[in-house]
Amino acid sequence: MATPTKPASIMDVARLAGVSVPTVSRVLTGAARVAPDKVERVNEAIEQLHYRPNEVARALVSGSSNMIVVLASNTTYYGYAATIQGIEEAARVAGMMVVITVIQSSDKAHVSSAVQSALRQPISGIIVLKFDVAGVAALAQIPNTVPVAVASGIVEDDYPQAVMDEFAGGEAATRYLLSLGHATVHHVSIPQSGATEDLRTLGWRKALTDAGIPAPPVIPSSWDPQTGVRIGRELAARSDVTAIFCGNDEIAMGVMNGARSGGRHIPTDLSVVGFDDHPLSSLWSPALTTVRQDFVALGRNTFELLWNSIRKIPAPSHTSEATQLIIRESSVPPPS
Amino acid sequence: MATPTKPASIMDVARLAGVSVPTVSRVLTGAARVAPDKVERVNEAIEQLHYRPNEVARALVSGSSNMIVVLASNTTYYGYAATIQGIEEAARVAGMMVVITVIQSSDKAHVSSAVQSALRQPISGIIVLKFDVAGVAALAQIPNTVPVAVASGIVEDDYPQAVMDEFAGGEAATRYLLSLGHATVHHVSIPQSGATEDLRTLGWRKALTDAGIPAPPVIPSSWDPQTGVRIGRELAARSDVTAIFCGNDEIAMGVMNGARSGGRHIPTDLSVVGFDDHPLSSLWSPALTTVRQDFVALGRNTFELLWNSIRKIPAPSHTSEATQLIIRESSVPPPS
DNA sequence: CTGAAAGCGCTAACAT
DNA sequence: ATGTTAGCGCTTTCAG
């Protein structure tokens, strides 16, 4: 019952079945044929002893573990959580375990501590969620001796990387707003994490340029929707802004909230478009027009990339998921 | 560079430093004193070889790993994600790694596959997120030979368990609504996962009983906010409902959305109160009155419980986090 | 087909 | 203080 008995080892099984240890190993791994009667005796012994192979010992022999780590700066934001869910899903079918290591902040110390902690483990690969600066910083600290795959972000290094077509998404959203008759589209961006602007912003810029409209200054936001609220309030005072494309849905919700408190009515006075298609976006009032991204698929893709790299299987080193404009109620033609 | 050199082993270090393997081990673990000059030579060798101890081998010797697994049915819902974040945070300072295993559904097969997969690993403990049926089912399948701690849920078994005072929360929310003058409070509940009702529902029931008001039938919802939308639409047609207490914020948002499309204005026609204090609740319009729960703290508490159990440190086996009613704009006195 | 022997990288026990 | 010997649980030669 509560006796903390040591778990049965392969030796116990061998003894009970009356065979040698390697024979048990053979029926376990299927590495070689074993006489049917012995197979049966071994299996019986396994059952009887509730034997489960010690993965640590296996890992020691094989020199590789079935563990990968995901480095992420936050696991509560929807995009992060959904991506991790996708990674786990794909990893599970491949028989790999995923350990989560969160990077507390983009401080060099925190990043380094996270990376070192990951490296200390018997891992066969690392996935970094390059949604933000912390991700970029982590990537830079990982030695190139361990397989790495990166999810999202700008493609700027030669790691296998799964991204979404955020450029096209930003472009589509902006083009759509323009087609509604807005003179221009303002952009509240997600935090920049590299030297260049993020792709959503770049897509927005492209659409504007194509239309011959000078891009107004980008309004940078943090990930915190409260920043969006402040920005929304400020923008509410400016009569020249009739359409805002936000870097993500949470920020868009903040902006709407702020604009509203600043006296604007949405969408009549002000159209707002988000990015991501957060699960609550369709419930929002007015229902949020947005660009859908499939984070779970992104996670799956990233794992596949890593998995190929681990097994040294030649394969394309990049994947790109399409994005999709979802038109709902938060966007209408400008007030006349 | 790209040479896939095998990582240095403790033997390489010993050789380079001109000492024996155990000596290297000793400076590594600090298990015994080593002559200063040798310590230095060893450290130099370690540096030079970029040596990092193989945790697998260590784990094999010590018979224990620094890995715990978290069993959860979904990692994208806010409450789940935040709890996991708390677990990871506490685990990290304790030097433990957190493996996430998601239980695809509450099917016996899926549950069993998740549990078995966890058990196959060299883990020193399991945390199950008992937010739902899948969690309950998983708990039932875990052999009592491995340390377990559970987060949330009804306290009904003798596992170490960290919960939140959801009962008090449900009671407070209901009492508050009643104090506003509502004749009764209807309740849209989260999915039941056990034989008894969940604590939020029980708290609601208690407040009603205390006030001498017969509790109307509970309206069960799924976790999917869309179910809330349907329920909201149905409820909108009933003039006797002026106040609704929802099992969580996402459901509340769905209910509000549905009620609105059913012609009700919120809060004037209908007061709605949620549960959790989802990050977006304060941005919702009208800002959602809710009961705050600190999921991150819950996660931390759960880990501490498991950690004590792993180290066989006697400690209280249960913790309870307080909840807090946050009054915002979605609740007002009933229409007169 | 199967057992004996070796070895994965490390720590613990035992000598010295 | 430090080297030698064992041994963790398993898989992989290597004989037979």
pLDDT digits (tens, 9 = 90+) for B189-246: 999 988 889 999 999 999 999 999 999 999 999 999 999 999 999 999 999 999 999 9
Cα–Cα distance, B263 to B269 (Å, whole number): 9
Strands B125-129 and B148-151: parallel
- Peptide linkage before A267 cis (omega within 30 of 0): yes
Q: Which of B56, B82, B143 sits opposite A59 (nearest CB)?
A: B56
CA closest to A254 among chain B residues: B283
Cα–Cα distance, B60 to B55 (Å, whole number): 8
* CB within 8 Å of chain A, chain B residues 62-91: 65-67, 69, 74-76, 78, 81-82, 84-85, 88-89
Specify the nucleotide whose C1' lies closest to residue A12 (CA). D9
The DSSP element (H or E) to which A295 belongs, if any, is: helix A295-310
**pLDDT tens figures, B81-97:** 999 999 999 999 898 99
Whether A99 contacts chain B with CB within 8 A: yes
- Residue type for position B279: P
Q: Name the one residue in this structure whose structure tokens are 């012995």.
A: A38
**pLDDT tens figures, A142-170:** 988 889 999 998 888 889 999 999 999 99
Q: What's the CA A25/C1' D4 distance, rounded, in angstroms?
A: 31
Do the Cβ atoms of B121 and A55 come within 8 Å? Answer: yes
**B114, B99 Cβ separation under 8 angstroms:** no
Whether A250 contacts chain B with CB within 8 A: yes
- Residue type for position A160: P
pTM comes to: 0.92
Query: What is the CB neighbour count within 10 angstroms for residue A39?
Result: 16
Q: Take residue B176 and report the two structure tokens written for it.
A: 């508050």
Q: Is the pLDDT of residue B5 over 70?
A: no
**pLDDT tens figures, B97-139:** 999 999 999 999 999 999 988 888 888 899 999 999 999 999 9
Q: Which of B67, B119, B254 sits opposite A283 (nearest CB)?
A: B254
Q: Which residues of B touch A280 (CB under 8 A)?
A: 225, 250, 253, 280
Give Cα A244 to chain centroid, integer Å: 26
Q: Take residue B192 and report the two structure tokens written for it.
A: 């039941």
**pLDDT tens figures, A199-254:** 999 999 999 999 999 999 999 999 999 999 999 999 999 999 999 999 999 999 99
- pLDDT average, residue stretch B57-73: 90
Rg (chain A; Cα; Å):
26
Specify the nucleotide whose C1' lies closest to residue B32 (CA). D1
Cα–Cα distance, B286 to B69 (Å, whole number): 39
Whether A119 contacts chain B with CB within 8 A: yes
**B149, B83 Cβ separation under 8 angstroms:** no
DSSP secondary-structure letter at B289?
A: B
